[in-house]
Structures are given as C-alpha cells and as structure tokens.
C-alpha cells in the first residue's frame, strides 16, 4: 500500500474512532508517521489472516481432495477400503482431533454462546410474561378491593334497612294493637 493511500486510510480511522476529536491532519508529524507505520503492520496482518482463511478453506480435509492431491483415483481408494480408505479416514480424524487451529474449541464456544443466547431469550420472555401477570394480579387486587368495599357498603345498607324494617314492624305491631286489620311487612 502506498504512503498516500495509507495516509487517507489512517485519516479515515482516526475520524471514525474519534481519535484527536476525529482530526488526523492536526496531529503532530511524528504521530502521523507512527500511525502510518501501525496501519501498515495491521494491513499486513489482515492480509496474512485473509490468506490463512483461504488456505484453510482450500486444505479442508476430505478423501476426494487427498485422492486428487496424491494423484490416486477415487475409485482405486474406494476399491481398497480396508487399507487406503481406512487410512485416509483415520488420519483425517486424527488430524482434526489434534485441532491445530483450535477450530473445535471455537465451535464449542460458539455453541455455548448460542445456548446462552437462547437461555437469555427464554428468560427475557419469562420475565416479560411475569411482568404482564403481575400487572394483571395488581389490577385484579384493586378490583377485588373495590368489590369488597362495595360489598361492605351493601352490608351496611342492608343492616340499616333491617333496622328501619324492624322499627317499622315495631310501629306496625303497636298500631296493630290499636287496629287488628294491618298486615306485617315481613
């Protein structure tokens, strides 16, 4: 990468990363040089990583690729399952178990991460459902209190009415003593 394109790339990252308030051109020349050197190293490492990723894909272990690379026909390997095919399969298994690049470890970590993510989603859903239920419970408790108060008020009214009825019955009895044709309210 030439100096001019490295310079503009560094300027973009300085702006994106908000280093020096995103202003690359106000930096001291020493810092600019050092940032260009750092970016050059980073670009080389990124390029190396990309090449490794391509090489990993190209060297994925399979019986077909091994047969092709060894210039032995796949049919010949398949016809000699006890020796050639078995050797290839066992060696592939052995090499993959060695896990040179910790790929299975990464895969296990990804699976663990996915499990945790799913558990978190279920927990969030459960918490949301609990909040909804708690809200409904609170509403029902308020309704229950309101209905209980209404019921208590009605008991008081009934008691007052019974007292009034009793008084009226008492008056009726007194007046029935005075007159024999009056009927009781109860």
Residue 145 lies inside a defined structural domain of this protein? no
- Whether the CA torsion 15, 19, 24, 30 is positive or negative: it is negative
Distances (CA, A) of 108 to 4, 93, 115: 43, 17, 10
Same domain assignment for residues 40 and 81: no
Domain count, the chain: 2
Contact indicator for 15, 22 with CB cutoff of 8 Å: yes
For the chain, state the CA radius of gyration: 44
Residue 40 lies inside a defined structural domain of this protein? yes
Same domain assignment for residues 53 and 3: yes
Model confidence, pTM:
0.45
Same domain assignment for residues 4 and 49: yes
Per-residue pLDDT tens digits for 55-99 = 888 888 888 889 998 999 999 999 999 999 999 999 998 888 886
Among the candidates 44, 74, 98, a domain finishes at 98
Per-residue pLDDT tens digits for 137-186 = 999 999 999 999 999 999 999 999 999 999 999 988 888 777 655 555 55
Same domain assignment for residues 47 and 69: no
Residue 169 lies inside a defined structural domain of this protein? no
Residue 162 lies inside a defined structural domain of this protein? no
Per-residue pLDDT tens digits for 18-50 = 999 999 999 999 999 999 999 999 999 999 999
């Amino acid at each position: 990468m030439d100096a001019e394109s490295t310079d503009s790339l560094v300027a973009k990252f300085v702006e994106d990363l908000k280093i020096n308030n995103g202003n690359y051109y106000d930096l001291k020349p020493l810092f600019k040089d050092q940032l260009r050197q750092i970016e050059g190293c980073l670009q080389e490492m990124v390029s190396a990583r990309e090449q490794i990723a391509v090489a990993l894909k190209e060297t994925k272990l399979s019986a077909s690729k091994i047969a092709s690379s060894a210039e032995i026909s796949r049919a010949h390997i398949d016809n000699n399952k006890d020796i050639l095919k078995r050797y290839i399969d066992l060696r592939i298994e052995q090499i993959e178990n060695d896990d040179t690049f910790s790929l299975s470890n990464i895969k296990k970590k990804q699976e663990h991460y996915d499990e945790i993510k799913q558990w978190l989603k279920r927990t969030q859903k459960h918490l949301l459902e609990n909040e909804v239920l708690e809200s409904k419970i609170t509403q029902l408790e308020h309704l229950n209190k309101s209905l209980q108060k209404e019921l208590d008020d009605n008991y008081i009214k009934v008691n007052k009415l019974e007292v009034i009825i009793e008084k009226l019955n008492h008056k009726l009895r007194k007046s029935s003593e005075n007159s024999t044709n009056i009927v009781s309210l109860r």
